[in-house]
Amino acid sequence: MNALSILVFNSGSSSLKFSFFRMESSFFDDSTNEKYTTETILNQMPLPETFPLKTLLNGEIEMVAEKSSRFRVKDGFNNTLIDEQISAISYTDATLHIIRYLAGYSTPMPEVIAHRVVHGGVALRQHCFVNDKVIRQLEASIAFAPLHSQIALDIIQFTRKRFPKLPQVLCFDTTFHANMPDVARVLPVAKSLQAKGIQRYGFHGLSCESVVFQMGKSLPKKLIVAHLGHGASVTAIKNGQSIDTSMGLTPSGGVMMGTRSGDIDPGVLMYLMREQATDLAALETLINHESGLLGVSGISSDMRTLHVAAPLNPSAKLAIEMFCYSVAKQIAAMASALNGVDSIVFTGGIGENDALIRANICAKLAFLGVHLDSAKNQSKMAKSAINLISDVSSRVAVAVLNANENAQMARHTWALLLHQTQANTAANHAILV
């Protein structure tokens, strides 16, 4: 297996991203004259950014299942190939639109398809190939992440029918956090519930992995990753391993988000059920769709819209301040979990693009010795670089880094295929012997 064409689907609660990659089997790092082989990949050693992964296409369909959707595609050199309004009435419709576009573009056909899955439940904690048993296990775990899992499952089922002979891989956001210490993983509930898988799973794991991978040999011992977007989380990483994270059993917990409340007093939910006769469906809608920035501002879950409204709208201003306050508190908590912090990395849509939010959050962390360089923070960020925005006087390095979940999924897909190939080769050899 000298090269591989990998199609990656990354579904969100309102969008479908995709990437098309070509990966080679080994390469030389010219700076060190060191050869990285398939074994290096399988061992998941920190690798330089020059990992042999060639991006052919990146794209996204925004506002899926709305009145009108937006389809954008860029090539591997970041040149815009298409930017148009389309009709994508469902996620399977959006998937078909992408497949048809690829069929008309001068790329090789995909040889394997990878899917991002937010939550695999108790049974699915490691990246794996798709088969009927895995599909049943994924169906059983939908309740853990209803905003995301059913969408991913629909896309997986659709592509299995469309490409019945292609291997397909599931990459889980929870895998990176699977080995958190008990003090962070175990939730303070009865052991009977713990036995049923009620625990802290953590999410945005592929994003965190991407940060760790891109930092390579410069990875600090004590790192905090703030993934800030429509969904948001803060993760403490020690020596490249997740030791705690803000999200818990589901992606609804942790910091305040676009439409999700984040952590909330469970007494609020009991009060609504007891005194307001609020049923489960209404509670789920409230927590996942009507809270967060949207709930507090009353106008939008989009931070860009709130920035425009804030000067004349006290509720929009409060929503922004509460978001920053919530994130800063979690970063401080993760610094405690790490017993200090060497570096903070901002990533995700808000984390990568909103200088005002970064400045607001970091201002609340001055007691940790965090100080930004205002000019660097407000400058245009390079997408393929670690952008340092802290001042020289800062005791904590602060950086902005592009979350490249799709590339991380491609690497896991390659490693799984290599592992399968090596296992088959060993089995065949054993039979011959």
Catalytic residues: 173
Burial class (CB in 10 A: 0-12, 13-18, 19+), 307: middle
Do the Cβ atoms of 168 and 159 come closer than 8 Å?
Answer: yes
Do the Cβ atoms of 405 and 210 come closer than 8 Å?
Answer: yes
Residue 291 CB partners (closer than 8 Å, separation 6+): 256, 259, 260, 261, 264
Q: How far apart are alpha carbons 61 and 14 in whole angstroms? A: 9
Outline where 339-369 has alpha helix (H).
348-353, 355-363
Give the rounded distance of the alpha carbon of 210 from its chain centre.
9
Helix, strand, coil % in the chain, rounded to nearest 5 = 40, 20, 35
Burial class (CB in 10 A: 0-12, 13-18, 19+), 183: exposed
Give the count of beta carbons closer than 10 Å to the beta carbon of residue 22.
Answer: 18
DSSP three-state, residue 256: coil
Edge-to-edge strands, sheet with 232-238: 241-245, 232-238, 222-228, 343-347, 397-400, 387-388
Burial class (CB in 10 A: 0-12, 13-18, 19+), 300: middle
DSSP three-state, residue 46: coil
Beta-carbon-side half-sphere exposure of residue 90 (alpha carbons within 13 Å): 10
Helix (H) or strand (E) holding 224: strand 222-228
